[in-house]
Structure 1
């Protein structure tokens, strides 16, 4: 599906923004925070509206991707606001969970053993991402 590269690109860009914002270590003002929150909500609404043109599972996948982008952006915003390590780690956890949710939804296009294998692969990727995150926490 064409939405897959879009989500991956969005996640990469979001990750880079989160990383770069951490180096600034300046806390956001209330106005900046509210403006960023409004932008996230507007982007989610636009992404969700774009999904309406799709049908069946393609629409479901699109909606999951839109929700995933919103949740990741909100986690990144929380980190930009506080600069705290726990919020930085929350970004990694939210990304893992949302990538799993999107992958699991994509599996719905399949059936039988192929669907089972797809779901197991998606779950394994989520668990690996969370394990990597925990290992990174221990080294920091």
Structure 2
């Protein structure tokens, strides 16, 4: 057996093992996500119960804060579970909306110009947070695109090296290159 065949067999074995590992990791990630959601709901119920002791705008702010805390926890868990730039950006946007609701409720306790300024500041903070989420998503996408371009370039080089071979050696080279570079 040639070294290329041994290498190809090893790569196939590792790929099969990592497929099983990925399945187990996916189950674990889903369980972690579900546990985080359950914890967020339990914390929300506890926080909401504490709000019942309050009245007026203080109670309203407390309820909005409890909802925002739950939203942050669930969105963070969702972003970690999906682990994509789009999911992370979506989570940050939802969190920005929840934070805006809390800030807006706090503004209701004010009057006149102070209330107007508070509302405008809350909206400005929300717009800033959403813009940051979009920027992070775009940067992550650009990094992923660059990784893909580098992988394609390495694949082309590997194929060019394989072209110099013939017969079984060439086939082994192609199989090894495809396995190594995920093509």
TM-score range for the pair, normalised by the shorter chain length: 0.7 to 0.9
What RMSD over aligned residues (CA atoms) do the two structures have, in Å? 1.6
Partner of 2:152: none
Matched residues in 2 for 1:64 and 1:28: separation? 33
Question: Does the 8 Å contact 2:86/2:137 carry over to 1?
Answer: no
Partner of 1:48: 48
**How many residue pairs get matched?**
115
Q: 1:68 to 1:127 in 2, by over 3 A?
A: same
1:138, distance to aligned residue in structure 2 (A)? 2.3
Partner of 1:100: 100
Q: Deviations over 1:26-61 (max 9, x none)?
A: 545344433332211111100100111111101100
Q: Does 1:39 align with 2:39?
A: yes
5+ residue gaps in structure 2? 1-24, 141-183
Q: Deviations over 1:66-117 (max 9, x none)?
A: 0001111111121222222222112211221111111100001111121111
Partner of 1:72: 72
Question: Does the 8 Å contact 1:72/1:95 carry over to 2?
Answer: yes
Partner of 2:89: 89
Deviates more, 1:58-67 or 1:87-96: 87-96
Q: 1:113 to 1:100 in 2, by over 3 A?
A: same
Partner of 2:174: none
TM-score calculated relative to the size of structure 1: 0.74
Question: Does the 8 Å contact 1:28/1:81 carry over to 2?
Answer: no
